[in-house]
Copies of this chain bind each other. A is one copy, B any other.
């Protein structure tokens, strides 16, 4: 078993090459492997033609220690992965009664009839282990030949993702290829660019030779991943260094790990037993969604209002007509009135609002397309932040949501409710 195994990922399916769907498998599998200390070296996507599968699988298999494939295990005529891989490996395909039973049981449960097509999925290369699929019909396949490992996973994400975490990673660990514990400690930041962050933290890292440091920018955030590196730093030493980074970062520090900013806000409010509402126009439901993606969101999040016209802002949020008439629907005044209105209507302690022009049309000379106002209502006051984002509609929506969340995160940290109440009580 090599100490630094070469890992390649093969994604099969024309739909990736035709641009029908993003290759979310690459991002997910790359991240999960990295988390356990395995570095994906290459990813190849190609279509289902048997000669291509044979050729590209053979190449990867010969040069790698671990090969993971996704897709092409389905019941249709263009699902050829099983056959082509078995051929390259020189293994016969064996019919598995166990798989047939699982498929029949699943179909019975769903009230569907098994077709001859479906029984294609009952074949396995000789010597392979079945990776049961609780979420679909196609089982995964695990095969170890000499020191090499092959994991063949089904294409649908809801089937592939749990199979990777629950069955493949543990097998790779027990083969000694990776560790079950986290391979790095991640510091999540927002509000500072990648190169500025590198400059800011360099004096800290310069003191620790051989420390593994990687920067990863995404959606306005930059993550710093600290790993044992060549210096072979202990977990405790890395935590100590991370703490120093946190102090240096100040308000740009979001969290350790990979919580979303919405989750950081949720945890803060949950600890204080406070509640939150959201009002949005141009972000159209995405801001609410950021909170409702958190399991148990309802303990903090009471609801959101997507008001896509002025009547809705007045009727649902009680934004005064005169404010919209004088300042416009995209203005600081309307943003604050929306936040306060949401807090009142939903009886919450906090509220966050977004109004703006996401484009492609709309906008005024003063507030061009891409202008966003964020309103924030807290027990200790209300605030508004304005920004202008270039880019197309969906990009503007995502950026506005990220920024709104970050505005709230910073205000929450800066103005503690207790301090504000204390100040009120003492007339300070």
Contact = CB atoms under 8 A, between A and B. Distances in A.
Contacts of A282: 292
A26 B20 contact: no
A36 to B, nearest CB: 12
Interface string A216-246: 1110000101000000000000000000000
Interface stretch (A90-98, A296-304, A320-328, A411-419): A296-304
Nearest to A30: B19
Most buried by B among A27, A74, A118, A361: A27
Nearest to A63: B55
Given A41-B47, A311-B347, 19 more contacts: A19-B31, A20-B31, A41-B46, A43-B45, A44-B45, A76-B195, A76-B198, A135-B391, A282-B292, A284-B292, A285-B306, A288-B288, A289-B289, A302-B309, A303-B308, A303-B309, A312-B346, A315-B346, A316-B345
A397 B31 CA distance: 23
Contacts of A217: 15, 20
A347 B312 CA distance: 9
A76 B194 contact: yes
A218 B30 contact: no
A158 interface: yes
A400 to B, nearest CB: 12
A347 B308 CA distance: 13
Contacts of A157: 395
Contacts of A215: 76, 78
A308 B316 contact: no
A396 to B, nearest CB: 10
A32 interface: yes
B29 A19 contact: yes
B284 A391 contact: no
A290 B34 CA distance: 33
A261 to B, nearest CB: 16
A19 B23 contact: no
A187 to B, nearest CB: 13
Interface in A146-164: 157-158
Contacts of A218: 15, 20-21
A278 interface: yes
A25 B293 CA distance: 24
Nearest to A390: B135
B306 A303 contact: yes
A359 interface: yes
List of 3 A-B pairs having minimum Cβ-Cβ separation, nearest first: A284-B292, A19-B31, A285-B288
Given A285-B306, A302-B309, A303-B316, A216 B292 contact: no
